[in-house]
Structure 1
Amino acid sequence: MSNSIYHINKGINKSIEFQGLRAQYIWYFGGMVIILMVVFAILYIAGAGTVICMAVIGSSGTYMSIKIFVMSKKHGEHGLMKAMAKKQVPKVLKSYSRRLFQTKDKEEKK
């Protein structure tokens, strides 16, 4: 049996990358694993068969893993946060009154 060496850091002042996952996606993947373990325990305690538990956990784990890897590859280190922030910015600012702009001019003249 050979020893496996996993490189976590790629250099100084660079974000952590592990097996293709970057930055916060490593945390998302860890959270997914913990959630899947809890769901398996709940299903097993509820009396579901082991085969059913494994099928549910296996299929949902595969789906979520693929989604996390796709998001990591698509958005990169900060891209997901930028995409979420972009949704918060309004596309259009509407003003039905000129009053806001007129009061500012008077204050500047004083």
Structure 2
Amino acid sequence: MAGKHYTINKGVNRPISFKGLQAQYILYLGVGLVVLLLLFAISYVLGISFWLSGTACGFMGYLLFETVFKLNRKYGRYGLKKRLARHKLPMGIKVRDRGFVRKLKQKENG
């Protein structure tokens, strides 16, 4: 009996990539496009001119694409998350009571 041949999926553990966008940027672009579609539909229902709302949504779509691709190039797969997390860290901690530090040292030693 001949041995079985299995294909190996070489894309395991790689980030999702679509047209150069990586990871979360695909989600950002998708959500942005859905918001623009809803904005266009709402403006059309409200009676705003088709050409005016279409042009405005087209321009905002262009800005959305440019911004998302720029963030993707600048920060990469995890860089934007790291940047947002870095802004949440405090610049420093002020300790006005030395007793606090002494209690920490006692916990380390004992």
TM-score interval, smaller chain: 0.7 to 0.9
Counterpart Cα distance in 1 of 2:57 and 2:66: 14
Q: Residue in 1 aligned with 2:97?
A: 97
Distance 2:70 2:57 in 1: 20
Please state how far the C-alpha of 1:11 moved relative to its aligned partner. Answer: 2.9
Q: Does 1:58 align with 2:35?
A: no
Structure 2 unaligned runs (5+)? 1-9
CA distance in 2 between partners of 1:107 and 1:12 (Å): 45
Q: What secondary structure sits across from 1:37 in the alignment?
A: helix
| Superposed displacement of residue 99, structure 1 | 1.1
- TM-score norm. by structure 1 comes to 0.83
Alpha-carbon distance in 2 for matches of 1:16, 1:108 = 44
Partner of 1:67: 67
Residues 29/106 of structure 1: CA separation in 2 closer, same or farther (3 Å cut): closer
Deviations 1:60-104 (A, max 9, x none): 110111000000111111111100111111111111110101223
Change (3 A) 1:71 1:99: same
Letter of the 2:44 partner, please give it.
Y
Residues 1-110 of structure 1: matches in 2 within 5 Å?
A: 11-107=11-107
- Alignment root-mean-square deviation, CA: 1.7
Hey, what's the Cα distance between the residues in 1 that align with 2:105 and 2:28? Answer: 50
Structure 1 segments of 4 or more deviating over 6 A? none
Sequence identity percentage = 32
Q: Could you list the runs of 5+ residues in structure 1 that have no partner in the other structure?
A: 1-9
CA distance in 1, matches of 2:46, 2:81: 38
Q: How many residues align?
A: 101
